[in-house]
Amino acid sequence: METQTLNPDKTVASLIHLSTFSKYFIPFGNFIAPLILWTIKKNDPFVDEHGKQALNFQISFFLYFVFLVSVGISGIVFFGLQQHAAEVFFFSDNFRFEPYHLTNAVPLFIFVAILALLIITLFILDIIFVINATMKASEGRSYTYPLTINFITPTPVGNHQSNNEQFNNTQNPTL
């Protein structure tokens, strides 16, 4: 979607995307900061489109992260129970390290390694996509994030007509 607007507010659109990095300093800053910037300049179609895209992307990646963490916790519990399924569950001060326990834990280590790789990949994709969106916004072009679920539906470009303009248009038969 490579559309150009006549006089877009490129600075605010770029700041919306960059403000998602505030999550590293403020809890849920990746939702709060873009939402504030987006609502300030919501009447500009270019800023409106980029604001919706940024929020949809952040919500989607938050849900992907929550899903990976929940799968990780359930997988660790599952493999942990498999590890000690034949043993009696009790705590003692006489814990002995025996080498055969490590061979039984290999599936758990592989699972944790794959999960860590997926979370790191999600982190890297987040940074790459946000930087790419910021660059497109600063150039005045539209950008659609990959892997995004549209919770806030984007308004089609060119369909930004106020209610007063719709009534003043005598050529529009759908009044």
10 Å Cβ neighbour count for 50? 31
Per residue in 128-171, pLDDT (tens digit) is 999 999 999 999 899 999 989 888 886 655 544 545 555 555 56
Ranges 53-67, 108-122, 149-163: which has the least confidence:
149-163
Extract the tokens encoding 97.
């390290």
Q: What is the pTM of this model?
A: 0.73
Instruction: State the DSSP code for 142.
Output: -
Question: How far, CA to CA in Å, does 121 sit from each of 37, 69, 116, 147?
Answer: 28, 14, 8, 13
Task: Report residue 45: phi and psi, to 5°.
Answer: -60, -35
Alpha helices in 84-159 (DSSP H): 100-104, 106-139
Extract the tokens encoding 76.
């660790």
Question: Computed from CA positions of residues 8, 10, 13, 17, in that sequence, does the dihedral angle turn out positive or negative?
Answer: positive
Helix 106-139 to helix 10-18 angle (10° resolution) is: 170
10 Å Cβ neighbour count for 105? 15
pLDDT at 81: 74
Are the CB atoms for 20 and 30 separated by under 8 Å?
yes
Length of the chain: 175
Q: What's the rounded Cα separation, in Å, for the pair 135 and 140?
A: 9
Are the CB atoms for 49 and 158 separated by under 8 Å?
no
Are the CB atoms for 45 and 92 separated by under 8 Å?
no
Ranges 29-33, 44-48, 52-56, 162-166: which has the least confidence:
162-166
